[in-house]
Homo-oligomer: A and B are copies of this chain.
Amino acid sequence: MKTAVYPGTFDPITNGHIDIIERALKIFDKVIIAVSVDSTKNPLFTVEERIKMISEAVKDIQRIEIDSFSGLLVDYAKKTNAIAIIRGLRAVSDFEYEFQMALMNRRLNEKIETVFLMPNEKFTYLNSSIVREVVSLGGDISDFVPENVKNELKKK
């Protein structure tokens, strides 16, 4: 069984993330959605809230697991017997940061491969940070996040 880890902050999960998860499931037998605990960013939602929102958002998708991790991503991947890390690539600025991380991860554990997938182009310029900004300014984010995430964002 081939398992991949899809790591991220997921603060909150967006439709772009879900698009990547569904594509990864075409390639891998199992995908672990792994919420980073150590992220240095000041998060809007707690790790628990983020996991709960993900669980609800992907409850109809099979062959996935939701978890959190701290420490090195490659150590977490090894522990869970994952052979690959999944990353979505949208834009040139993504590209360089992602390559830096992928090369570093390869140096730290050369057995774990990083696999890049391309989201639907309608999600090209979507990320959690712009979603949080639009909500805070009073904009409608129905196109960008699942229904349950939209509700949680409105509460904040």
A117 & B115 in contact (Cβ 8 Å cutoff): yes
Q: Which residues of B contact A93 (CB under 8 A)?
A: 93, 96-97
Q: List CB contacts (< 8 Å) of A83-120 with chain B.
A: 83-84, 89, 91-93, 95-97, 99-104, 106-108, 113-118
Contact with B along A34-66 (1 / 0, CB 8 A): 000010100000000000000000000000000
* Cα distance, A71 to B136, chains bound together (Å): 8
B89 & A134 in contact (Cβ 8 Å cutoff): no
- With beta carbons under 8 angstroms apart, the residue of B70, B101, B130, B140 that contacts A100 is B130
A108 → chain B, closest Cβ, in Å?
5
B92 & A96 in contact (Cβ 8 Å cutoff): yes
Of all chain B residues, which has the CB nearest A123?
Answer: B121
Asked whether A30 is an interface residue with its Cβ less than 8 Å from the other chain, the reply is: no
A104 & B27 in contact (Cβ 8 Å cutoff): no
Copies of chain A in the complex: 6
* Cα distance, A116 to B115, chains bound together (Å): 6
A143 → chain B, closest Cβ, in Å?
6
B103 & A121 in contact (Cβ 8 Å cutoff): yes
A83 & B122 in contact (Cβ 8 Å cutoff): no
Q: Which residues of B contact A72 (CB under 8 A)?
A: 134, 137-139
Q: Which residues of B contact A113 (CB under 8 A)?
A: 23, 26-27, 117
- Chain A positions within 8 Å of B, measured between CB atoms, are 2, 23, 26-28, 38, 40, 70-72, 75, 83-84, 89, 91-93, 95-97, 99-104, 106-108, 113-118, 121-122, 124-125, 127, 130, 133-134, 136-140, 143
